């Protein structure tokens, strides 16, 4: 107390200040806490989850919605996500000859031609053996139901069955071959093998990647030598043929066989690691989804880089990358694609690995386990990474990614459990839609925060001013509760339904780890908070002099705060543009909320029961005119501030 005497304060004034401070302790805390914010965030995210579900993205973890809005890199699989995943064998190389297959999709309607002429399969025995291998080294099926054909299993294998059907091989083989054992396909093996008994002969049929099958083959079969007269394999020639096929964007599989004398009913990897007889290549067309090209362009316009990670051949991946315009580094030469294989990537580590990964568009022949290191390398440069995956081995990468995206159709349960998002259509365009919705939700949350904080800060400033000046309290605790509860429900919640802004996918993503509130928004919040302080306190003090009761003055102060919030709500429909440029009636719920809020304030002001509960009082029309006047002034100040900020930002960019 002595210190206050030295400052010239009277004991009664000091006592009043202390009493006011004690009485208003609850008021101060209630005033500055935005209690509607957690509810608004949860509801916003929940509504966003509903919107995303309609656009084929199921959100498993709510925070992923916001993270999607900040994504800077999307790492996507190729097959099924970027491409249609409806394979069609369009070209075969066997017996030193090229064959074309007509027809598309899984409908086995088509022909096999050589030099534009329909073939007789019995005149091309190597081709027949290649087709038989594709049919028998297979765990899928193609079932006819009435006039339709239904694919069961892996699309790549179904395509091989379809090709065999075009040569009328299906029924013939079913009677004469009996499967004994198999080595299923594994990404690290890069091949599949099956052991069959054909009239007492034990034959191993193998299909897999070009590199792997050629490495395991010692011989090759040619029509002019006969089935028993094989020749030594010419690997360099075959590699060139496979590369030419792959450069057309075709997915190339190699086929081989081996006859064994063993009576063992099991097949081991050692049985196929050498001595195979190469039969041929089957090249499949899997075109990009038409909508993916536009989706990737939109992502790139939004500052999001797209990288393709695939187990396919490097040249196949590069060709697809060109078709979807995946290039991110050269506007002058969009056909230029930076690519690397998983084997080449293993040669790098540390900072070298980070730089290589960051500057590469396409990763080919990548094992699922390697995806984890790719994600970590990208994250080490501060990127927010979304990663797609479908296999069991993709789970570590999906967990490591900021947003793990599993395939709903082809994905395993392990991949789905490790993910944050599941695509119900396995389509890259759905990832773009999810990012777009994530940005809208992030914008909405920032708008709500920018709108709600000035109310709380303004109320806090009013209370603090009252405390430190010793003046009367313009608003009571129960009135603060009324303001915060009603405005959050009727006004703030309406911002949640604000549609996305036109430029949502034409601006760069929010910088990782940057604060939600920028310097510009903090200035805006401060301006509105001060406007609330000056307006509420000014009209309160003016009313004390003009009206007969303090209840009327406090009612005016409460209505002033609420009315400023209503006008400021329209400012916050866009934080950078004029409210007229966002589509005045694009969010009709805003007007519904404002209407409800006005009715509540009329009840607060004029209904006797409400007057009793909230210690309010009816006010005259001239008071309403003053309240609306200060609200319009606040609204115009923020609109002018937006224009000024936009001009300054343009000057900085120049």
Indicate the angle between helix axes 428-469 and 550-571, nearest 10 degrees. 150
Q: Cα dihedral sign for 259, 263, 267, 272?
A: negative
CA 8, distance to chain mean position in Å, is 64
- What whole-number distance in Å separates Cα of residue 515 and Cα of residue 362? 32
Q: Which residues contact 292 (CB under 8 A, 6 or more apart)?
A: 82, 324, 427, 428, 429
Q: Which DSSP string corresponds to 119-158?
A: --GGG-HHHHHHHHHHHHS---EEEEETTEEEEES-HHHH
Q: Cα dihedral sign for 371, 374, 379, 384?
A: negative
- What whole-number distance in Å separates Cα of residue 477 and Cα of residue 559? 15
Q: Which residues contact 220 (CB under 8 A, 6 or more apart)?
A: 230, 231, 232, 233, 234, 238, 277, 278, 279
Q: Report, as residue numbers or ranges, the catalytic residues.
A: 77
- What whole-number distance in Å separates Cα of residue 155 and Cα of residue 28? 65
Burial of residue 154 (CB within 10 Å: 0-12, 13-18, 19+) is: middle
- With beta carbons less than 8 A apart as the criterion, state whether 298 and 505 touch: yes
Residue 627: how many CA atoms within 13 Å on its side-chain side?
Answer: 24
Across 351-380, b (16+ Cβ under 10 Å) vs e yields eebbebbeebbbbbbbebebbbbbbbbbbe
- What whole-number distance in Å separates Cα of residue 266 and Cα of residue 179? 11
- What whole-number distance in Å separates Cα of residue 389 and Cα of residue 517? 34
Which of 540, 634, 557, 490 has its CA nearest to residue 31? 557
Indicate the angle between helix axes 36-54 and 428-469, nearest 10 degrees. 170
- What whole-number distance in Å separates Cα of residue 280 and Cα of residue 133? 10
Query: What is the three-class DSSP state of 292?
Result: helix
- With beta carbons less than 8 A apart as the criterion, state whether 55 and 124 touch: no
- Which token pair is 219? 């011989």
Across 523-546, b (16+ Cβ under 10 Å) vs e yields ebbeebbbbbbbbbbebbeebbee
- Which token pair is 156? 């790549």
- What whole-number distance in Å separates Cα of residue 542 and Cα of residue 533? 14
Burial of residue 384 (CB within 10 Å: 0-12, 13-18, 19+) is: buried
Q: Cα dihedral sign for 359, 364, 366, 372?
A: positive
């Amino acid at each position: 107390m002595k210190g206050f005497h030295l400052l010239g304060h009277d004991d009664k004034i000091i006592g009043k200040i202390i009493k006011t401070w004690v009485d208003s302790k609850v008021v101060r805390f209630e005033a500055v806490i935005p209690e509607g914010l957690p509810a608004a965030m949860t509801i916003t995210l929940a509504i966003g989850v509903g919107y995303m579900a309609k656009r084929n993205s199921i959100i498993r973890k709510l925070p992923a919605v916001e993270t999607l809005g900040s994504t800077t890199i999307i790492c996507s699989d190729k097959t099924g996500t970027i491409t249609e995943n409806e394979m069609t064998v369009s070209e075969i190389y066997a017996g030193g000859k090229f064959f074309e297959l007509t027809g598309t999709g899984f409908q086995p309607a088509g022909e096999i031609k050589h030099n534009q002429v329909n073939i007789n399969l019995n005149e091309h025995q190597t081709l027949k053996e290649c087709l038989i291998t594709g049919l028998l080294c297979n765990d899928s099926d193609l079932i006819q139901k009435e006039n339709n054909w239904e694919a069961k299993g892996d699309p790549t294998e179904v395509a091989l069955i379809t090709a065999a059907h075009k040569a009328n091989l299906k029924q013939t083989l079913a009677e004469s071959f009996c499967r004994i054992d198999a080595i299923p396909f594994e990404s690290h093996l890069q091949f599949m093998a099956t052991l069959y008994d054909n009239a007492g002969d034990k034959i191993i049929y193998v299909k897999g990647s070009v590199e792997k099958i050629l490495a395991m083959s010692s011989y090759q079969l040619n029509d002019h030598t006969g089935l028993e007269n094989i020749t030594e394999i010419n690997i360099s020639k075959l590699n060139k043929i496979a590369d030419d096929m792959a450069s057309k964007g075709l997915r190339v599989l190699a086929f081989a066989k081996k006859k064994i004398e063993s009576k063992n009913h099991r097949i081991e990897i050692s049985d196929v690691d050498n001595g195979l007889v190469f039969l041929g290549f089957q090249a499949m067309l899997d075109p990009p989804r038409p909508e993916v090209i536009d989706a990737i362009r939109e992502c790139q316009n939004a500052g999001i880089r797209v990288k393709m990670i695939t187990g396919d051949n490097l040249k196949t991946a590069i060709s697809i990358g060109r078709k979807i315009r995946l290039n991110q580094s050269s506007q002058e030469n969009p056909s230029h694609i930076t690519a690397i294989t998983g084997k080449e990537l293993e040669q790098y580590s540390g900072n070298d690995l980070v730089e290589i990964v960051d500057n590469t568009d396409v990763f080919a022949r990548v094992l699922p386990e390697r995806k984890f290191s790719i994600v970590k390398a990208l994250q080490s440069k501060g990127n927010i990474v979304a990663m797609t995956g479908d296999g069991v081995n993709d789970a570590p990468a999906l967990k490591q990614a900021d947003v793990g995206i599993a395939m709903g159709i082809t994905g395993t349960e392990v991949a789905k459990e490790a993910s944050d998002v599941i695509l119900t259509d396995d389509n890259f365009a759905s990832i773009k839609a999810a990012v777009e919705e994530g940005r809208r939700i992030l914008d909405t949350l920032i708008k709500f925060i920018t709108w709600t904080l000035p109310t709380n800060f303004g109320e806090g400033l009013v209370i603090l001013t009252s405390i430190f000046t010793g003046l009367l309290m313009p608003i009571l605790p129960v009135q603060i509760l009324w303001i915060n509860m009603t405005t959050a429900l009727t006004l703030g919640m309406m911002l949640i339904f604000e549609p996305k802004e036109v430029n949502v996918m034409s601006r760069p993503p929010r910088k990782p780890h940057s604060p939600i509130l920028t310097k510009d928004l903090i200035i805006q919040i401060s301006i509105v908070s001060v406007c609330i302080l000056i307006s509420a306190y000014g009209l309160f003090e003016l009313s004390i002099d003009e009206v007969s009761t303090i209840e009327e003055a406090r009612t005016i102060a409460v209505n002033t705060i609420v009315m400023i919030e209503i006008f400021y709500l329209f400012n916050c429909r866009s934080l950078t543009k004029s409210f007229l440029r966002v589509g005045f009636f694009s969010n009709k719920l805003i007007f519904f909320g404002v209407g409800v809020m006005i009715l509540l304030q009329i009840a607060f002001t004029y209904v006797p029961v409400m007057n009793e509960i909230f210690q309010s009082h009816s006010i005259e029309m001239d008071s309403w005119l003053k309240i609306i006047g200060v609200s319009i002034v606040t609204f115009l100040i923020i609109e002018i501030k937006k224009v000024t900020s936009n001009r300054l930002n343009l000057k900085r960019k120049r």
